[in-house]
Amino acid sequence: MPITFGKSTARFEGACVAEEVLPLLDWLQTCGRARINLARCTHLHTAVLQALRAARVEVRQAPADPFLNRHVLPFLREARGTADDRNKE
């Protein structure tokens, strides 16, 4: 399984495909403050990416994959920053 779910942190490994989104959504709804480890992730399906962005997860470990690190990581962190800015108002 490409995603291993812990109490508050999910670890992504290899290619995370669309079939992973339902278990991910279940976990996101129950864990409270979600954290993710993308260090060993090589691909995120857009459905998985959208769920992570909507949940404003905290990325604990950045992906080693150059594409994910350059494009996906800032996209996820931007959503989290936007949420933090709204809470300040």
pLDDT band at residue 82 under the 50/70/90 scheme: low
The answer to whether residue 33 scores a pLDDT higher than 80 is yes
> What pTM, to 2 d.p., does this model score?
0.86
Domains of the chain with CATH codes:
3-88 (3.30.750)
The answer to whether residue 70 scores a pLDDT higher than 80 is yes
The contacts of residue 12 (CB under 8 Å, 6+ apart) are 2, 3, 36, 37, 38, 40, 41, 44
The answer to whether residue 88 scores a pLDDT higher than 90 is no
pLDDT band at residue 80 under the 50/70/90 scheme: confident
pLDDT in tens, 20-32: 999 999 999 999 8
The contacts of residue 42 (CB under 8 Å, 6+ apart) are 14, 15, 65, 68
pLDDT in tens, 42-60: 999 999 999 999 999 999 9
